[in-house]
Amino acid sequence: MPVSPSDIPVVSAFDVEQIRKDFPILHQTVNGKPLVYFDNGATSQKPRQVIQAMVDYYERYNANIHRGVHHLSQKATSAYEQARETLRSFLGAASADQIIFTKGTTEGINLVAQTWGRNYLKEGDEIVITAMEHHANIVPWQMVAEETGAVLKVIPMSTAGVLDLEAAAAIIGVRTRLVSVVHVSNALGTINPVQEIIALAKKTGALTLIDGAQAVPHFKVDVQALDCDFYVFSAHKLFGPTGMGVLYGKADILAQIPPYQGGGDMIREVSFERTTYNEPPLKFEAGTPNIEGAISMAAAVQYWLGLDHQAVQEHELDLLHYGTEKLKETGFIRIVGEAPEKVPVISFLMDGAHPYDVGFILDKEGIAVRTGHHCAQPIMDFLQIPGTLRASFAFYNTRAEIDRMIDALHLAKKMLL
């Protein structure tokens, strides 16, 4: 679990300048200014090791997998399945067969909704989510609820961005079949008490799905310790490639649910009369997969695991605290979401200015932040705001970059107000 802010020193000894050498994209100018990349919540940058893993695949052993007896196919198959084992270890899963490769978090949630949800939900059953979900953990459940007659229930949150656990205990009941919860809010940075929510679900016999897209870049996750039934995340948030992700599922559940798509690799035998399906995980991986994506995702995981995680967390929390205080010191910035447990994500507003206009000026100063509702429109509706600016930090960001953002915000104030 993440380190508590009270447990860390004010300034970390983390050698961020050495780390930054691994990320070639950071060393460029945008609009004539050195790039400051604070949009890691949308997608993270990639170290040379990940880029090289993809290049090596295409230059040295590009071939289709699971189908060929020739050398290149065997080498590609071995690397692909070794990537699955790397991800098994990364999540603490019991077996590599519980690791399903997907296009990302969104496809992982949709896979569960369209296989388990369509087959096991019925009229009057309840699906419980939270008020701070990404659209990807709302819309698939709305779709399956409309089809099956199930009902969507929502755990509320406070204006500080904290889930109401008392309300959760009342909402999760005998009709609850699934509780699907974001581990970390992409819009606010809140670290949710998923362990407690999973425990509430288990009392009623409900299954649990955890959206870990914003969690895995910041702290270690152990799916067996959590005892969740499903866990999903995307590689591109974890310093890996886009179009790649993981769905972890408990073995007995994966064995029971039907395939997601039909095609090659997910079959054992096909005739015009009937088809028999493969075992998990191949049952859920139809067609030629994103081979280089799996291999480079494993390289990203290996890179992340090679870091000193205590130092990383100290550095990131220092950025969070420093950035928060510097923004407050301006006197014209309002922080949106101040939960006591957060990853290094700060949503904020400039009084009297639209987030898009501020973000446009920051870009002219070489500073990349996200503006809008961050695919979490219900949060903005609840807070009665059109959206926010969001600065989301990674371990390769620095205090000096935060100072540049503050200077740019002062410039934006002069231009807009």
Give residue 92's Cα distance to chain centre: 17
Residue 99: strand pairing partners: 248
Q: How many CB atoms lie within 10 A of CB 342?
A: 24
> Domains plus CATH for the chain?
5-41+308-416 (3.90.1150.10), 51-305 (3.40.640.10)
- Which residue type occupies 231? Y
Q: What is the pLDDT of residue 6?
A: 35
d(CA 234, CA 20): 22
pTM: 0.95
What SS3 class is residue 374?
coil
Choose, from 172, 187, 206, 375, the residue flagged as catalytic: 375
Give residue 49's Cα distance to chain centre: 21
Mean pLDDT of 286-296: 95
- Binned at pLDDT 50, 70 and 90, residue 13 comes out as low
pLDDT in tens, 93-152: 999 999 999 999 999 999 999 999 999 999 999 999 999 999 999 999 999 999 999 999
Of 36, 33, 12, 11, the C-alpha closest to 392 is 36
d(CA 209, CA 132): 15
Q: Is 375 a catalytic residue?
A: yes
Q: What is the pLDDT of residue 4?
A: 35
- Binned at pLDDT 50, 70 and 90, residue 263 comes out as confident
